[in-house]
Amino acid sequence: MTTKSLFCLLLLSTALPAQTTLTATATQRYFTSIRRNLEASADAMPAEKYSFRLTEGQMTFAEWLLHSAQRNFADCAVLKGETAPESEAQLAVLKNKADVSKALRDSFAYCAAAIEKLDDAKVLASPQTTYSFLHIIVHNNEVYGNIVGYMRVSGIVPPSTAGRGRQGR
């Protein structure tokens, strides 16, 4: 999208009454499903695999989930107009499955509460809010794309595949 198109979209969105086409569609089709897939992945991966790396130099499975949680807290804090409740440093010390999984779930709950109060005009009100809203969807899909490899190598069918009834790897 060009800068001119984005500017026109922003102007138009502020002139219209509060609408929720963008936010409702993005939430129902993308946020809810990626939330479900990442939380189910956290549950499916055995605790001893949370320190697993596909290759040296890559993040561990736990680090991927914590990266998702940190970005969720940061982006959704922008949407809420507040300081993130959990910092990257606070999350970085978490290592075990229970703590990492809880942090991920808490971050998605925090985002869900932020999204509940949004409409399209609020999302499009500034480049920061637009970026943050899109980032919680796009970034989490990127994280999921990475951890699927960790799961498959560990013999676990990823939730998105299992949900379609395909049990093959």
CATH classification number, 18-159, choose in 3.40.640.10, 2.60.120.620, 1.20.120.450, 3.30.365.10: 1.20.120.450
pLDDT interval class at 25 (50, 70, 90): confident
C-beta atoms surrounding 93 within 10 Å:
8
CA distance 77 to 129: 10
Q: Angle CA(115)–CA(117)–CA(119) in degrees, nearest 5?
A: 85
Predicted confidence (pLDDT) per residue in 114-131, tens digit: 998 888 999 999 999 999
Region 84-105: mean pLDDT is 95
- For position 165, what pLDDT does the model report? 60
Supply the mean pLDDT for the chain: 87
Region 23-45: mean pLDDT is 92
- For position 47, what pLDDT does the model report? 98
The domain spans of the chain are 18-159
Contact between 122 and 57 (Cβ < 8 Å): no
Q: Which amino acid is at 137?
A: I
- For position 163, what pLDDT does the model report? 66
CA distance 69 to 63: 10
C-beta atoms surrounding 128 within 10 Å:
11
Tokens (6 digits) for 162: 């299992």
**pTM of the full predicted structure?**
0.84
